[in-house]
Amino acid sequence: MLPKSIAYKIYWAGRYLERIENICRMSLLAINNGLNINTVAKQLGFDNEYELINYVKTSFQYLRENVRSFADEKVIIQVNTLEFLIDSDKSDLQSYFTQLLNGVYNVGNSFEKFFVEVRSEMRIRPQQENQPE
DSSP state of 126: P
Q: pTM of this prediction? A: 0.84
Query: Judging by beta carbons within 10 Å of its beta carbon (0-12, 13-18, 19+), is residue 53 exposed, middle or buried?
Result: buried
pLDDT at 33: 95
Q: What is the dihedral of CA 98, 35, 26, 68, to 10 degrees?
A: 60
- Residue 83 falls inside a structural domain: yes
Q: Is residue 132 assigned to a domain?
A: no
Contact 108, 17 (CB under 8 A): yes
Q: Per-residue confidence at 118, pLDDT binned at 50, 70, 90?
A: confident
Q: Would you say residue 98 lies in a domain?
A: yes
Residue 3 lies in a domain: no
**Structural domain of 89:** 42-122
Domain tally, the chain: 1
Segment 12-28 shows an average pLDDT of 95
The model's pLDDT over 25-67, given as tens digits with 9 standing for 90+, comes to: 999 999 999 999 999 999 999 999 999 999 999 999 999 999 9
Q: Is 93 exposed, middle or buried (0-12, 13-18, 19+ CB in 10 A)?
A: middle
